[in-house]
Amino acid sequence: MLALIMAGGQGSRLRMGEKPLVTVCGRPMLSYAIEAFESAGHEVIVVASYRTPFTKNWCRARGIPLYSAEGLGYVEDIQAAAEDLVEAGAPFFTSVSDLPCLAPDIITSIEAAWRRAGTPACSTWVPRDLCEEHGCRTQYTEEVDGTPACPAGINILTADGLDAPQEELRLLLHDRRLAFNINTRAELALVQDHLHRRGTTP
């Protein structure tokens, strides 16, 4: 399945240059997402924009497939990339680029749950309490399976009728690795400390 890694935003809250290239334990955040999806057996294309020219150069230098979106917005860039890259009716992953603790087993479990559900789409969520436990901000919350939850930033969509909401599985994942979504310098420091303590740095 194709995986679109969204890397077209400025990362204005982080204020450290282009967000996908901000380093976590010596590696760009974007590299963690790419490695996780490739290790899970998926074809990766990075979706960048005019807002992230250095990210484009980083991808080109490493031979990483790249799609140049117009940078009109997260949803708009997904729709444009899917229209150009994905066959009609085919499923595909979308993922934010700032999930440095993402791992292949998480991706595999998401795909398996989505296939069991048989819905066109799947959104993933993390319990709000789990995010707060690790000191991560929770700006957006919805109730999923009776639990206040935050979006994990990984979704599955079907490339057909993306201009309207698709029936979806709302998958609640009690996995602390997904609590680390990097939007501020404080969150960056938290995830680096977490990875150092676990001994999972490169």
What are the pLDDT tens digits along the chain (202 aa)? 999 999 987 666 666 778 899 898 889 999 999 999 999 999 999 999 999 999 999 999 999 999 999 988 999 999 999 999 999 999 999 999 999 999 999 999 999 999 999 999 999 999 999 888 766 666 789 999 999 999 999 999 999 888 888 999 999 999 989 988 777 777 777 777 777 776 654 4
Residue 66 DSSP label: E
Tokens 């066109």 sit at which residue? Answer: 120
pTM: 0.90
Match 């995986």 to its residue by tokens.
Answer: 3
